[in-house]
Copies of this chain bind each other. A is one copy, B any other.
């Protein structure tokens, strides 16, 4: 591929106009949108309105002028991105807190079954939170096994299978419907973590018959650093599953100020405390960017960006750990190298921001909304140029720069 080839792809790219909706710094090729999405240009305006008009001028009255419904309203905006109905998603808290609530709820629902099964090497907070959640349910335990052993780990004691849909390091993607069906065949509920999937790949929880899902909004959804996360609970489970962190915002009548807790109907029961309205204001306009996006065009572009870097990595002699089949991966590409840390730093020095994942992974995010084919081609050229220098070919250098 040449620069001209990349430009030709850009000229024909139906997603290309979305780049102008983001503020990106000059001199940077940003390949870390899978960790922190870029700033939508609409966000500073929305923040100024939320602070100056809604908070500053309307003050407490704003709670009756839109704030109180923000968790549901944003949930309804995320719903189409995961194939859910508007009343099956709510926004607030962190991904970790949602995981805690969902795992405890699932264990209590399945009182005869005591095991949560998950994958070794899953994103740490999924496993850490599962560890904490099982400690809140008498007799419950967490079974963490390698991917190859997951199917055999499901048995008649399994209450819940917890999987992260797209792996944060390798980009490997689980078959959403297939693994949900496996969990159901074993009599378990299925909880998906979509943190590296939502906004990156097409999701359909309804077709897959998924029971619950959580997801991060500050990666491919560009909601802002630490933006509130979402929780999906299939409508068929909403009445039976209860939130263990039973805060007032999830009460049926929070402003009746009753001593006893009585959960709200629907997704509202999953709320805990008062959400940050400023964080929600940023996320809301970031979500509005997704209106009218052609998901097929997005997937096509993601695959094209991947191919450019895969080719550059292969030319540099790097080992790609992400699947070759677009249907089997998310929207980032990872290379394994003992000197991955030094390589990440060298790329950053050239304005190519990716990230390093301990101990030996260089991870590069491919965000079709604001990356051009030429950007990614240029990043690939930098990658090749760095690895091709004599210094980098020297085994002693590689060892010196390895993180051990």
Choice from B56, B226, B277, B353 contacting A23 with Cβ under 8 Å: B56
Are A276 and B279 in contact, with the CB atoms below 8 A?
yes
Choice from B55, B124, B260, B272 contacting A251 with Cβ under 8 Å: B124
Instruction: Scan residues 352-368 of chain A and give those whose CB is less than 8 A from a CB of chain B.
Output: 353, 355, 357-358
- Give Cα A92 to B243, complex, Å: 20
Instruction: Scan residues 239-274 of chain A and give those whose CB is less than 8 A from a CB of chain B.
Output: 243-249, 251, 254-261, 272-274
- How near does chain B come to A56, taking the closest CB pair, in angstroms? 4
Q: Is A38 an interface residue (CB 8 A)?
A: yes
Choice from B38, B122, B169, B226 contacting A275 with Cβ under 8 Å: B226
- How near does chain B come to A367, taking the closest CB pair, in angstroms? 12
Q: Is A293 an interface residue (CB 8 A)?
A: no
Are B48 and A32 in contact, with the CB atoms below 8 A?
no
Interface 9-mer from A93-101, A186-194, A302-310, A378-386: A93-101
**Given contacts A136-B244, A246-B129, A261-B132, are A97 and B59 in contact (CB under 8 A)?**
no
- Give Cα A276 to B228, complex, Å: 7
Are B272 and A97 in contact, with the CB atoms below 8 A?
yes
Q: Is A81 an interface residue (CB 8 A)?
A: no
Instruction: Scan residues 211-255 of chain A and give those whose CB is less than 8 A from a CB of chain B.
Output: 218, 224-229, 243-249, 251, 254-255
Are B247 and A96 in contact, with the CB atoms below 8 A?
yes
Choice from B51, B137, B282 contacting A43 with Cβ under 8 Å: B51
- How near does chain B come to A393, taking the closest CB pair, in angstroms? 29
Q: Is A372 an interface residue (CB 8 A)?
A: no
Question: For A95, what are the chain B residues with a Cβ–Cβ distance below 8 Å?
Answer: 273-274
Name the interface size band of chain A. 35 or more
- Give Cα A60 to B37, complex, Å: 9
Question: For A392, what are the chain B residues with a Cβ–Cβ distance below 8 Å?
Answer: none
- How near does chain B come to A206, taking the closest CB pair, in angstroms? 27
Question: For A35, what are the chain B residues with a Cβ–Cβ distance below 8 Å?
Answer: 60
**Given contacts A124-B259, A226-B274, A245-B129, are A36 and B60 in contact (CB under 8 A)?**
yes
Question: For A137, what are the chain B residues with a Cβ–Cβ distance below 8 Å?
Answer: 136
Choice from B246, B272, B282, B355 contacting A131 with Cβ under 8 Å: B246
> What are some 12 contacts across the A-B interface (CB < 8 A)?
A25-B56, A47-B47, A59-B353, A93-B94, A94-B274, A122-B259, A125-B273, A128-B260, A129-B246, A136-B136, A226-B277, A278-B279
